[in-house]
Amino acid sequence: MSRVALMLPKLSTYGGVEGFAHRLAGALAGDGLEVDFLCARQETPAPPGVRVVALGRPPLGRAAKIAWFAFAAERARRRGGYALTCGLGKTPRQDLLRMSGGPLAKFWELSARAYAPGLPRAWKMLRRRLAPENALIRALERRALENQRVCVAVSHRVRDWLLEAHPFLAGRDLRVIYNRPDLARFSPVDEAGRAALRRAMGLDGQRLLIATAGTNFALKGLEPLIRALALLPGDAVLHVAGGRNPGRFRALAETLGLGGRVVFLGRVADMAALYRACDVFCLPSFYDTCSNAVVEALACGTRVVSSRDNGSSFFLPPERVVADPGDHEALARAIEATAAAPRPGAFAWPHNVASGLEPYRALVRDMLERP
């Protein structure tokens, strides 16, 4: 039986990369492989057949924790005698590397636009450059990309960013495998079901419901989205799912006279219901490697508007992709035109676009068979 290891600081089902790693570990164990999960800490039970190797973490700052996990995971990798290792976090060496976050240099460049020009933006960038953990992350990113056999990007956009930031990857095995939503959980409903969902939300059939979601509201483009709402007809409302601190965005809505038209929902347990109920799901991200929310909304038969720098906008027609997420006037035009279009119905995943767990399972099998 082949022994493989997955390396990620946290074993959990909460969080995009954590949930993916948990599912992948279980799938590989189900394929008859002997799977170790190398992590700093365990927050949830491991999938059946998966052995947890807890490496611990020092009670120090973020930079020390990152450095410790990189060191401890590499030591465990060398000692483990694994036939194949898969890096999902910040580890210096692995056979299969999944890049879910994109290169740090491109993140800095593109996400800076989420902050106001002048002092706010300059101060944010200065803090980033002075933070010791960021210097460590950049070094580990370069090392990881140099020391892998196959690198998987989670979108074509991430692949392009990687090639731009690290040109040496042009001659390496660089693939694209998208995240795939659970199509049993995220699926369309008929008009009667949609009407019932809207009634439960206190909406009459005539109101234009725009929805968005995220934890980092600045990065997800909530400010330009609120400004775009001010340019839309008075029956348009915005429901915002997630987030940690909506204070300044709620204040902006009040300043623009939109206090009654912007609703902050907090954490939403049933996102499928929100996708199905809304007229347009809008995510004008300044930087997003591959938003799960966009493909989930598409799977629910929802009209979607997003930005060029969201990897999952790959699945949208050009007229529903804004080039500059900060251009709230262009965003308002895109939302209005999209709301007037017919609802798209069930989303058919392109047959020629790799997605979900199966391509990883096939890739692992192939890598184990190769010398």
For 34-75, how does the pLDDT look when each residue is reduced to its tens digit (9 = 90+)?
Answer: 999 999 999 999 999 999 999 988 888 889 999 999 999 999
| For residue 231, pLDDT beyond 90 | yes
- Looking at residue 59, its amino acid is P
| Confidence (pLDDT) at 182 | 84
Cα distance between residue 291 and residue 312, in whole Å: 6
Of the ranges 30-44, 150-164, 240-254, 269-283, which one carries the lowest mean pLDDT score? 240-254
Positions of E strands within 92-228: 96-99, 150-153, 173-176, 208-213
% of the chain residues with pLDDT over 70: 99
CA distances for 225 relative to 47, 249, 284, angstroms: 40, 10, 7
Whether the predicted pLDDT of 340 surpasses 90:
yes
pLDDT over 70 at 253, yes or no? yes
Domain 3-180+354-369: top CATH class: alpha beta
Q: Which two tokens stand for residue 260?
A: 């009654």
> Do the beta carbons of residue 146 and residue 167 sit within 8 Å?
no
Q: Residue 58's pLDDT is what?
A: 83
264 to 207, 219, 246: CA distances (angstroms): 17, 17, 7
Confidence of residue 345 (pLDDT cuts 50, 70, 90): confident
- What is the fold, at CATH topology level, of the domain defined by 191-340? Rossmann fold (3.40.50)
The pTM (predicted TM-score) of the whole model is 0.92
Residue 206 has pLDDT above 80, yes or no: no
Average model confidence (pLDDT) across the chain = 94
The answer to which of 75-89, 283-297, 341-355 has the lowest mean pLDDT is 341-355
Contact yes or no for 101/107 (Cβ under 8 A): yes
**Nearest to residue 289, comparing CAs of 148, 176, 181, 211?**
176
Euclidean distance between CA atoms 223 and 330, whole angstroms: 14
Q: Label residues 109-141 b or e (16+ Cβ within 10 Å = b).
A: bbbbbbbeeeeeeeebeeeeeeeebbebbeebb
Sheet holding 321-322, edge to edge: 262-266, 236-241, 208-213, 280-283, 303-307, 321-322
Contact between 300 and 275 under an 8 Å Cβ cutoff? The reply is yes
Q: Which amino acid is at 161?
A: W
Answer for the pair 80, 65: CB distance below 8 angstroms, yes or no. no
Q: Are 9 and 40 in contact (CB under 8 A)?
A: yes
- pLDDT average, residue stretch 194-222: 91
In which element (H, E) is residue 305 found?
strand 303-307
Contacts of 187 (CB under 8 A, 6+ apart): 272, 299, 300, 301, 346
Residue 16 φ/ψ, nearest 5 degrees: -60, -55
Please tell me the predicted confidence (pLDDT) of residue 42: 95
Query: For residue 183, is pLDDT > 90?
Result: no
Q: Name the residue ranges covered by the structural domains of the chain.
A: 3-180+354-369, 191-340
What average pLDDT does range 309-314 have in this prediction? 96
Ramachandran class of 83: left when φ > 0, alpha when ψ lies in -120 to 50, beta otherwise = alpha
Two domains, one topology: 3-180+354-369 and 191-340: yes
Instruction: Judge whether residue 203 has pLDDT over 90.
Output: no
Q: What is the mean pLDDT of residues 224-239?
A: 96
Whether residue 207 has pLDDT greater than 80: yes
Q: Give the tokens for residue 3.
A: 């022994």
Residue whose token pair is 């039970």? 45
Residue 205: pLDDT above 80?
Answer: no
pLDDT for position 371 = 66
